[in-house]
């Protein structure tokens, strides 16, 4: 298959649409990152994973990575190993959210747990890494549960959390007591992120369904989940 047959005009348009949403989301602060000065979680935490749900895991990664690179250059960051590694958490989250395969959901969090406890500080704070069983459990649940939007959102945000935490423990000096103190904070934070991802998906799913109908966009380019069409359900109840 030729490249132009893969990257059709409509597909490129939607990739750019999500790239723009992700890039804008990165500029809107949501909450401070504990242990850092002047660094924040942003609405990117909501928009990043859902790109995989609509575009598919591969093209979702393309849009998220494109936004990451654009932001990297706009911010004038230097090409260091740790800066490049910090680009990866949302790529895995987008793949997790968009794929039907179980491999990533099983392997990545488990490898992250191993990498975390291999660090001397991480070994002392091993309890912190137990959060990363959540995406594993979600994946192995029966399909009616593993495909649940909120649980999938929860698995995606904890997949990003796993990758980000491993990069953090190996690059930022924090004591084991600080990591352990973050356990209740992480629970609150990730539940909020999962709710945000769920809400963002439902809104975008409803909006994009209208576009799909008008532009005759195929399911290969844009995946719409008919279970989460708010307007159609509302009109159906009132009709």
What pLDDT, on the 0 to 100 scale, is given for residue 215? 87
CA angle 84, 50, 1 (to 5 degrees): 80
DSSP H or E stretch at residue 32: strand 29-32
CB 138 within 8 A of CB 152: yes
Contact 22, 176 (CB under 8 A): no
This prediction has a pTM of 0.90
* Contact call for residues 41 and 197 (beta carbons, < 8 A): no
Going by their DSSP bridges, the two strands 29-32 and 40-42 should be labelled as antiparallel
* Domain ranges across the chain: 3-238
Residue 119 DSSP SS3: coil
- DSSP string for 73-112: HHTT----HHHHHTTSHHHHHHHHHH---SHHHHHHHHHH
The two structure tokens encoding residue 15:
């990739």
- Under DSSP, is residue 169 helix (H, G, I), strand (E, B) or coil? helix
Query: Can you give the pLDDT of all 239 residues of the chain as single tens digits?
Result: 577 778 889 899 999 999 999 899 888 887 777 656 677 788 889 999 999 999 999 999 999 999 999 988 888 878 777 778 888 999 999 999 999 888 888 999 999 999 999 999 999 999 999 999 999 999 999 999 999 999 999 999 999 999 999 999 999 899 999 999 999 999 999 999 999 999 999 999 999 998 988 888 888 899 999 999 876 655 555 55
The pLDDT of residue 75 = 80
Tell me the C-alpha distance between 239 and 29, whole Å.
40
Note whether 228 and 202 are within 8 A (CB).
Answer: yes
């Amino acid at each position: 298959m030729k490249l132009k047959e893969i990257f059709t005009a409509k597909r490129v348009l939607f990739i750019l649409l999500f790239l723009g949403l992700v890039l804008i989301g990165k500029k809107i602060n949501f909450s401070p990152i504990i242990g850092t000065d002047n660094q924040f979680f942003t609405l990117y935490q909501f928009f990043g994973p859902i790109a995989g749900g609509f575009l598919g895991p591969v093209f979702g990664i393309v849009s998220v990575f494109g936004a990451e690179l654009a932001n990297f250059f706009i911010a004038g960051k230097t090409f260091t190993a740790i800066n490049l590694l910090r680009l990866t958490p949302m790529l895995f989250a987008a793949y997790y959210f968009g794929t039907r395969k179980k491999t990533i959901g099983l392997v990545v969090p488990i490898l992250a747990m191993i990498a975390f406890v291999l660090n001397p500080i991480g070994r002392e704070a091993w309890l912190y890494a137990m959060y990363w069983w959540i995406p594993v459990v979600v994946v192995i649940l029966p399909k009616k549960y593993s495909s649940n939007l909120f649980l999938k959102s929860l698995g995606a945000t904890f997949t990003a959390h796993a990758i980000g935490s491993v990069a953090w423990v190996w690059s930022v000096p924090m004591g084991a007591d600080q990591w352990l103190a973050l356990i209740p904070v992480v629970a609150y934070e990730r539940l909020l992120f999962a709710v945000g991802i769920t809400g963002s998906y439902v809104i975008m799913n409803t909006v994009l369904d209208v576009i799909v109908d008008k532009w005759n966009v195929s399911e290969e380019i844009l995946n719409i989940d008919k279970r989460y069409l708010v307007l159609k359900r509302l009109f159906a109840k009132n009709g």
